Every structure is written in structure tokens, then in C-alpha cells.
Amino acid sequence: MSAGAFPSLPRMWARRRRTIAMPPASMAGLSLIELMIAVVLGLLVVLAAIGLFTSNRAVYDSTEALSRIQENARAGFELMARDLRAADGTVCRTPVDTSTAAAAASPEKMPLIRWAGTGGLGLWGDGLRGGSNGFGDVIELRSATAGAVPIVTHIFNELRLADSPRFKKADELLACDSNIGYLLTATGVKGNTVSYMEAPCNASPGGNCDATQPLLDPARRPAFLAPVAAIRWEVGANARGGRSLYRVASGFGSGDDRAEVIDGVRTLTLSYLLPGKTQYVSAAQVGTEWKAVRAVRVALELEASPGGGAGNEIGRRIVHIVSLRNRNP
């Protein structure tokens, strides 16, 4: 065999080294600079996505907070307006006796019941009263429109009713016909008979101080016995460290029933419309003319935290006007 039949070993090794040292272009890797650029671009994309998500989340939380404020305002106004419209209302409606001097002089200001005498009827005689506490304005309302039972006879301090009532001992009641009203405290309830004593003079919710007032005469005019409702609306501190709108129903003999209506209420502002006026005035400006108030302007300042957390609260002031149904034609 000749020496030229096989390549020499050095030449073979040289070709192999060249093959190993010169990889094809498809197998080449990224340089460090290219890798750093790729990482930076990737981070920019991720940060942009996070920013977009955060922005959308903030918009969603703000929209949800505003919706919560609107829902709270709607619920608060609806329940409060229901009590305001019933203020000064009784089951003994019309006709009012227009033969009295007061009615002849100003029939539009005549109460639904002609309270006999000039004695202290207290807050009841006004139907509503405004005031204030540490969180804003307060309004107290009186009415006797629900749960009435017709009176059959009225003999001294005893009323016989057409049906068995749901009243109980110590309840504050109103006995009335279209012209006369008595504020009473039930001293006993047996079957369809209620015994009573006159409500204390000037005591909440007011008393009848006219000892000469005649008895009701159901044979001449329909008469009714109804429980007195005394409602107070106010803003107060809640158990969560915030403020809420409360409805306080006076239970008289059984104590107050305090119910939280809506939370997130900064303050309650009330103003009142008097006859012949175009501007609403504060409680202090009403003075002693509460019986003449025709409408109430209710302003609630509400707040809500986006996302449900504290800080960065969104606030809105929402106003609602309620006409007193029992004071207007």
C-alpha cells in the first residue's frame, strides 16, 4: 500500500480542529449587551401592563365608591322623606272647624286638629322641630297616622273602641275627631276598652293642658285612637369609627329604638321653608314658627373610600327637598 492512499494524521487533526473552532452561524448565542437590551424591553412591557391594570383598578374603585354614595343617598332620602311627609299628620283629617277666630284669620295655617286652649302642647303641637348636635342638624317629627282604631264611646277617662287595639299600658296615644284632640297615656288596656290619663303638661311628646276641653262625641263626629309616633333623624358616631345617619323612634314606655340607616355620612344640614318666603332658613331663623313650616331642604354630605380602605375618601353633597304633605293643599 502506497503512502499516498491515506492522509497523514497531522493533516486530519488540523481539519478536525478547524471544524470544532468554526461552528456554523445558526449555533451562535446572544451577546451580553443584546441580553441586557432584551431584559430592559421586557421590563418596560411588564411595567406598562402593571400601570394599565393599576389605572383601571383605580377608576373601577372610584366608580364603585361614587355608586355607593348614590345608593346610600337614595336610601337615606327615601326613608327620611317618608317620615317628613307624615309630620304633623293624624287620622283625624278634615273638615277642620273654620268657625274659630284663628281659622278665620288664617285658614291655611290651621292645624289638622284644633287643639283647645293655649296650654303647653310642647313639641307635639308643632309637629316638627329642628335643632343640632355635635355632628350637624337634627329634626324631630310627630305624627299619629298608623294603627288607629275607631272610638265608640268616650266616658270620663275611658275609651271604648270598635275593635281590640294593639296598644299596651304606658303607650302614648292620640284621641281625636276632626276638631278636638287629646294626648293620652294608656293606664290600662282590657279587651276593646282603654283607660287613660292625660299626658303630662309640657312633657315629651307634649301634653294637653286645657282642663275644660270637652269630651269626644263619636255620635256627632267620627273619632279615633292612634299611637303617637315620635321620630328623630340625626348623624352620630358608629361602632366602626365613622359616622352614620340614624333614625331614632321613641318607644316612650319601652325606650328608644335607634336604627342605623346609612353609613359614610359626614353631616346632615337642614333648612326650612316658611309661607311667603322664597329662601330656606336655618332652625334658628324659624324661631317659634314651626307650625308654619311647609317644606324641608335636606343636605347630606357623604363619603366613601375607593377600594374600601381608609384614606383618599371621595365626598359628595347631595340635596333633596321634601314638601310636608300635611301642611300643603
Query: Containing H/E element for 46?
Result: helix 32-86
pLDDT at 112: 38
Q: Which residue has the higher pLDDT, 212 or 159?
A: 159
- Neighbouring-strand partners of residue 150: 224
Q: DSSP letters along 71-127, please?
A: HHHHHHHHHHHHHHHHTT-BS--S---TTSHHHHH-GGG--SS---SSS--HHHHHS
pLDDT digits over 267-292, tens only?
999 999 998 888 999 999 998 888 88
* CB burial of residue 249 (10 Å; 0-12, 13-18, 19+): middle
Q: What percentage of the chain reaches a pLDDT higher than 90?
A: 22
Residue 241 one-letter amino acid? G
pLDDT digits over 215-241, tens only?
788 888 888 998 887 888 999 999 988
